[in-house]
């Protein structure tokens, strides 16, 4: 016999769905930031801003995954996304605008 869903079950299901959607969006943002960085030369004047943007996107993605309890370690994420060292160094760093 199937147990009827309680209000708590429904709420937990909705929260998991929102967490998964957020992680998916942040994953796409990280990939886009890394792709934009890879598309510019090392001497491009915009490169520094792109490294900052990728570091910020990486920070958002890692923190959300950790807070949501979706397992994988940060090192796995860095390897899977082939995050350059310069982006790793700026993960979580904010600069005055």
pLDDT in tens, 51-89: 999 999 999 999 999 888 876 788 999 999 999 999 999
**Distances in Å between the alpha carbon of 73 and those of 44, 48, 61, 78, 84?**
32, 27, 12, 9, 17
CA-to-CA distance for 15 and 1, rounded, in angstroms?
26
CA angle, 31 as apex, 28 and 37 as ends, to 5°?
A: 140
User: What is the reported pLDDT for 68?
Assistant: 86
- This prediction has a pTM of 0.85
pLDDT in tens, 25-49: 999 999 999 999 999 999 999 999 9
């Amino acid at each position: 016999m199937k147990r009827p869903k309680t209000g708590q079950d429904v709420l937990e299901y909705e929260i998991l769905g929102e967490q998964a959607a957020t992680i998916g969006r942040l994953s796409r943002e990280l990939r886009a930031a890394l792709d934009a960085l890879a598309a510019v030369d090392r001497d491009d004047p915009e490169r520094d801003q792109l490294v900052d943007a990728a570091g910020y996107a990486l920070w958002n993605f890692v923190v959300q995954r950790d807070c949501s309890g979706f397992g994988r370690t940060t090192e796995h994420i860095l390897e899977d996304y082939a995050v350059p060292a310069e982006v790793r160094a700026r993960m979580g760093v904010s600069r005055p605008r």
